[in-house]
Structure 1
Amino acid sequence: MVEASSARDLARRQLIDDIGTFIIVHGLDISEANLTMALGICTGTNVALARKVVDRRASGLPMTQVWLDEQCRGNEDSVERIADKLERSLESFAATSRDARATAAQYNSEMQAQVEQAGEHPEREEIRNLTVLAMAMLERTQYLEQEMRRSESEAAALRGSLAKARRDADHDHLTGLPNRRAFEGLLERHYREAQRDLDVLSLAFCDIDNFKRINDAHGHDTGDRVIQAIAGALSRISDDNCHVARHGGEEFVMLFRGLRKEEAVHRLDAVRESFAGRNFVNRRTDEPIGTITFSGGVADVFAYPSTRDALKAADIALYAAKEQGRNRIVAAD
């Protein structure tokens, strides 16, 4: 038993080493998305992606963050296409079921009238036999009508479940904010619209300062509440032209439509300053946590060749804010 346990521990350590090696060798960020992706590749559970990685290695091409994100986005698009096809199938089935039920109901009414009329003249044996047969057919069609009504209800419930699954896929369960996947869709939409309307567009990366220290000292429940508090503070400045999403871990990303980079810095810095003035307490132990701060980097989206380059610039500005002492917002060069 001890030997089996040791073997399992060795296998787990090896898997952790493999994941770490994959992240470091290819110069990838240590993020929730990348760790999940690396786990799927190293264990082979994400067969399609693992095969693509093997093929790319064989071709001698680099394993970049951009390439990996494109592969994952392709998987998400495939799932979305399947969901769309399923929804169309459900709608078609529901329409067919409604039409069939309406026809059956009309047929039942007409048959019921004929059976009642035949029952008024039971003197001939042929009519009696026909009446019995018609009654049996009527009972059967009534049962089928009920089954079709039940199928309609099930199709409606499935459509509701599919819609909920789509909403859940785009939202972070801890904060209720849109997640990275949803934000990327928002960014692309606003990028196209702002480009068309000659509007300005800025984006920001935010990261909670010393978050690991908070988690280690006060536990993950407290860490979750800190993430929720930051999410709430950032959400209070969001509107139709300002969007906030949880990018993963302790990172958030924001989009400012109609605000120049300097204006976005000022708006985000006001949130940072207000939040830094609060004092937090561990609810479980009543132990003071003290002040909690965050840092941010802001970039002008149209100052870069693509939205991906703009995100990278904001991320670099964020790390500059960290290097300058944290608890500040820095504009990208």
Structure 2
Amino acid sequence: MMDRHGVPAHPNNFIIWYAFVADRDPELTKAINGVLRAGQKFSDDVCADLYERFFGTSQHEAELRAVGQRIENAVAQVLAYLSTANQGAAQYGEALVSFSGELNRDPAPNDLGDLIRGILDETKSMIEVNRQLEERLENSSGEIARLREDLDQLKREATTDALTGLANRKLFDVALREAALEGEEDRSFLSLLMIDIDFFKQFNDSHGHMLGDQVLKLVARTIQDSVKGKDTAARYGGEEFAVILPGTRLIEAIAVADTIRRNVASRKVLNRRTNQVLGQVTLSIGVAEYEFGESLGAFVHRADEALYMAKREGRNRVISQTELRGTQALDFEP
């Protein structure tokens, strides 16, 4: 099958297609079938996107483990420094006890001088131990701070789409699950927008991937500017986006969706190098409201069905789940 569709013989691609043929992940199956229906080629970029979306956690996990190990090593080093300092303090304490005992015996003047010189030497040694400890702890503190920054960066990278800066599919799944649980507990509303860029494949084919990436960034920025608070804007995959709206009723979510649609449609795509206006970008958006007790898969599917209906109805529009009732769900062919 890989040969039939011109998929490069790469280890990551074998992972993708083995899982596809084995039907291990419904979302992966849906994504690959979408590419097949669209007649899109399985280029290196397409394959890399599929791998990152469905199997890309292993690299991040390895990096997280590496940073975690470095943090453990740094902490172990700090404990070793403290142990050395404690030994020095114990020795100094024993020297003071010995000095006090000798003083109680009323030593001769010559012996007293030797005792004082001895305790001064011990004091100097203790001061040096404390100085070294302070220096080492300062260095270790800086190293741990740097490692913490690395860890935070890795966490951001693991949950952020590199191109658009929005939450990636992994974070979307986590955020949706948490929002649904919170909604169940509080009996609060939860709505979902599924967003797709109209005719994006044609735009990419006509103007190239670089300008296509700029369109994705433009849409992502507009979506991000239109949400707030606990809302989560995510790149769902390819040219599809999603917005999770906790505490938001269906009618309010429709208004948010239409604001996003109008804001994107009001902008023109410009080739800055040539100042050529390349046209208008429009969005089709499906809106659904969570029903307590339903599966998240059914919730997402309902929003998806509304999105596909928006496509069938002519694009550049918002369709909610209420408009699905009484209609037969059909697959959308781009």
TM-score of the two chains, using structure 1 as the length reference:
0.66
Q: Can you give the 5+ residue segments of structure 1 that lack an aligned partner in the other structure?
A: 1-10, 41-67, 114-120
The corresponding residue for 1:44 is none
- CA drift of 1:272 comes to 0.8
Q: Can you give the 5+ residue segments of structure 2 that lack an aligned partner in the other structure?
A: 1-5, 24-28, 36-43, 97-109, 325-334
User: Residue by residue, what CA displacement relative to the aligned partner does 1:34-75 show, whole Å, maximum 9, x if unpaired?
Assistant: 9459769xxxxxxxxxxxxxxxxxxxxxxxxxxx96xx6996
Are the counterparts in 1 of residues 13 and 47 from structure 2 also a CA contact under 8 Å?
A: no
Separation in 2, partners of 1:141, 1:199: 57
- Percent sequence identity is 30
Separation in 1, partners of 2:61, 2:286: 33
Q: SS of 1:302's equivalent?
A: coil
More deviation in 133-142 or 230-239? 133-142
Q: Paired residue for 1:168, among 126, 136, 157?
A: 157
Separation in 2, partners of 1:84, 1:197: 38
Are the counterparts in 2 of residues 101 and 149 from structure 1 also a CA contact under 8 Å?
A: no
Q: Which amino acid aligns with 1:325?
A: G
Are the counterparts in 2 of residues 298 and 331 from structure 1 also a CA contact under 8 Å?
A: yes
Aligned length: 289
The corresponding residue for 1:29 is 31
- CA drift of 1:321 comes to 1.9
Q: How does 1:1-333 map to 2 (within 5 A)?
A: 13-14=8-9, 25=21, 26=23, 27-30=29-32, 35-36=47-48, 89=72, 93=76, 96=79, 99=82, 142-143=131-132, 145-302=134-291, 305-332=294-321, 333=324
Larger-Rg structure: 2
Separation in 2, partners of 1:258, 1:211: 31
Are the counterparts in 2 of residues 28 and 34 from structure 1 also a CA contact under 8 Å?
A: no
Q: Which amino acid aligns with 2:180?
A: Y
Q: SS of 1:28's equivalent?
A: helix
Larger helix proportion, structure 1 or 2?
1
- CA drift of 1:127 comes to 9.4
| TM-align CA RMSD | 4.8
The corresponding residue for 1:60 is none
Are the counterparts in 1 of residues 268 and 278 from structure 2 also a CA contact under 8 Å?
A: yes
Are the counterparts in 2 of residues 33 and 248 from structure 1 also a CA contact under 8 Å?
A: no
User: Residue by residue, what CA displacement relative to the aligned partner does 1:113-155 show, whole Å, maximum 9, x if unpaired?
Assistant: 9xxxxxxx99999998998899788757744553343223212
User: Residue by residue, what CA displacement relative to the aligned partner does 1:153-175 show, whole Å, maximum 9, x if unpaired?
Assistant: 21221122112211222222322
The corresponding residue for 1:55 is none
TM-score of the two chains, using structure 2 as the length reference:
0.66
Separation in 2, partners of 1:223, 1:99: 56
Are the counterparts in 2 of residues 242 and 257 from structure 1 also a CA contact under 8 Å?
A: yes
Separation in 1, partners of 2:253, 2:58: 33
Are the counterparts in 2 of residues 104 and 145 from structure 1 also a CA contact under 8 Å?
A: no
- CA drift of 1:203 comes to 0.5
